């Protein structure tokens, strides 16, 4: 314990009161300190502040528990502590202050992102999108809540699957990566997009095989792929961006393979999720939906996907055209010829711009039933809410916090008010 007389004084005025920086109460939020560092911040503060005087408590933000979930140890930008937004010297009371994250969006910004494509579709009598195709988003409990909150939406598909590996993903109905039983994707619906067994990527597995039906069938006949997906009642969602990922003819062979199998429902994201949502209800911790009575996989004889063991759908992201790398208008005829619909995640800011589809073409393809226009956001930004954690002072003691850039690094500081000038503070 060190007496207040030993504090190094750095004064700053807040509403007429002079606050003083507590010597030693400074912590670097460097790039090596990722989100799990939040779990330690509470202990660090407790070790430095005399709790008889004041407390600072680090707590997750309601609805965004993943921010301090030790199961998430990613090193991606959205988890780095040094990307917290700077905060001017601000008193912390019992209500607390939300610390925001520079890679995220405010709730208002997210609303703007989601409303842009919706408004574009409604203005052209297309009808509101039914599926959220998330760009650069990993946090699926939040995703599920936003889907529930927006009238008419039936599900989502992550734009960046688990660990950025771009697997063909499971859309709204595969399984949670921490629980093996949730791999049974009809009885445990969830937007968590699990890496599928042996992977299955349009840009690797499909494009990497020869441009023949036999070669593509050999990839899918692998015991860890189609047989396993059938056993798990999987909804497989294959997606790509343009001809850089995969050729039209190779997707055609894959389509033929699935359509030749009488135990696979070949559909699209919208129809698959409408079908599933009608037969499920919210379940465990909002991550999963469980079948309504009489609608388990067993009730359907192990064939819950419209009388089939599994379902597969195809979608393209970003709404690119064929001007440069090939896009929606290159692949759409392939689906139309087979009586199928291609799901297209539209980025509002890209419509009617160079190398992207025009409004007229998109409306015509939608009217013909060849594509479904779905929501891929306004800017293709990260649909990540910007609240990182809340810093609270339940004791009511007068403390203030500051986060600022300091010679190329970011620093968090704790300051004291005059009312606790005579108190003692623990200093490491």
Residues 31-42: tens digit of each pLDDT: 665 555 565 677
Residue 260 CB coordination number (10 Å): 11
Q: Are residues 55 and 194 in the same domain?
A: no
Q: Are residues 147 and 260 in the same domain?
A: yes
For 137-143, what is the mean pLDDT? Answer: 62
Q: Are residues 255 and 343 in the same domain?
A: yes
Domain contains 381: no
Q: Which of 149-158, 307-316, 399-408, 411-420 has the lowest mean pLDDT?
A: 411-420
Q: For residue 69, what pLDDT band results from cuts at 50, 70 and 90?
A: very low
Q: Are residues 64 and 188 in the same domain?
A: no
Q: Are residues 124 and 194 in the same domain?
A: yes
Q: Are residues 345 and 216 in the same domain?
A: yes
For 159-180, what is the mean pLDDT? Answer: 38
pLDDT at 131 over 50: yes
Q: For residue 260, what pLDDT band results from cuts at 50, 70 and 90?
A: very high
Residues 362-408: tens digit of each pLDDT: 999 999 999 999 999 999 987 777 887 888 888 776 788 999 988 87
**Predicted pLDDT of residue 156:** 82
Q: Are residues 68 and 192 in the same domain?
A: no
pLDDT at 344 over 90: yes
Expressed as residue numbers, the domain containing 23 is 2-101+386-425
**Predicted pLDDT of residue 181:** 45
Q: In terms of Cα–Cα distance, which of 333, 310, 130 is closest to 225?
A: 310
Q: Are residues 357 and 402 in the same domain?
A: no
Q: Are residues 308 and 362 in the same domain?
A: yes
Contact 26, 9 (CB under 8 A): no
**Predicted pLDDT of residue 231:** 87
For 21-36, what is the mean pLDDT? Answer: 70
Distance CA 328, CA 253 (A): 18
Per the prediction, the chain carries an average pLDDT of 78
Domain contains 229: yes
**Predicted pLDDT of residue 338:** 96
pTM of the model: 0.80
**Predicted pLDDT of residue 217:** 97
pLDDT at 70 over 50: no
Q: Are residues 171 and 38 in the same domain?
A: no
Q: Are residues 279 and 144 in the same domain?
A: yes
Dihedral sign computed on CA atoms, order 140, 142, 144, 147? negative
Q: Are residues 182 and 68 in the same domain?
A: no
Distance CA 332, CA 299 (A): 36
- Split into its structural domains, the chain has a count of 2
């Amino acid at each position: 314990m060190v007496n207040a007389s030993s504090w190094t004084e750095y004064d700053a005025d807040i509403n007429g009161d002079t606050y003083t920086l507590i010597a030693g109460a400074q912590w670097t939020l460097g790039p090596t300190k990722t989100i799990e560092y939040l779990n330690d911040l509470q202990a660090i503060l407790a070790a430095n502040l005399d709790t008889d005087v004041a407390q600072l408590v680090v707590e997750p933000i309601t609805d965004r528990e993943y921010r301090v979930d030790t199961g998430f140890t990613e090193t991606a930008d959205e988890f780095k502590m040094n990307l917290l937004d700077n905060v001017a010297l601000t008193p912390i009371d019992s209500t607390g202050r939300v610390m925001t994250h520079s890679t995220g969006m405010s709730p208002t910004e997210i609303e703007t992102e989601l409303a842009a494509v919706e408004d574009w579709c409604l203005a052209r009598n297309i009808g509101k999108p039914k599926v959220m195709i998330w760009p650069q988003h990993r946090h699926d409990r939040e995703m599920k809540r936003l889907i529930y909150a927006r009238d008419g939406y039936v599900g989502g598909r992550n734009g960046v699957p688990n660990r950025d590996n771009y697997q063909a993903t499971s859309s709204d109905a595969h399984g949670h990566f921490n629980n093996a039983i949730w791999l049974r994707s009809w009885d445990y619906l969830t937007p968590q997009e699990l890496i599928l067994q042996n992977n299955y990527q349009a840009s690797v597995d499909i494009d990497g095989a020869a441009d023949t039906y036999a070669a593509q069938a050999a990839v899918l006949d692998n015991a860890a792929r189609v047989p396993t997906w059938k056993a798990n009642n999987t909804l497989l969602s294959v997606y790509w961006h343009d001809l850089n990922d995969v050729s039209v003819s190779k997707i055609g062979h894959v389509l033929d393979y699935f359509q030749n199998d009488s135990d696979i429902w070949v559909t699209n994201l919208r129809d698959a999720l409408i079908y599933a949502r009608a037969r499920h209800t919210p379940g465990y911790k909002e991550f999963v939906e469980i079948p309504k009575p009489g609608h388990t996989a067993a009730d359907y004889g192990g064939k819950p996907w419209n009388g089939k063991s599994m379902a597969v759908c195809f979608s393209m992201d970003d709404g690119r055209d064929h001007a440069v790398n090939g896009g929606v208008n290159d692949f759409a005829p392939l689906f139309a010829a087979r009586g199928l619909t291609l799901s297209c995640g539209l980025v509002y800011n890209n419509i009617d711009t160079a190398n992207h589809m025009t409004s007229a073409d998109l409306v015509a393809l939608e009217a013909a039933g060849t594509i479904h226009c779905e929501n891929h956001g306004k800017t293709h930004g990260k649909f990540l809410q910007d609240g990182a954690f809340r810093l609270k002072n339940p004791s009511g003691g007068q403390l203030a916090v500051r986060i600022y850039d300091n010679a190329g690094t970011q620093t968090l500081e704790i300051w004291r008010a005059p009312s606790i000038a005579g108190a003692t503070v623990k200093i490491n």
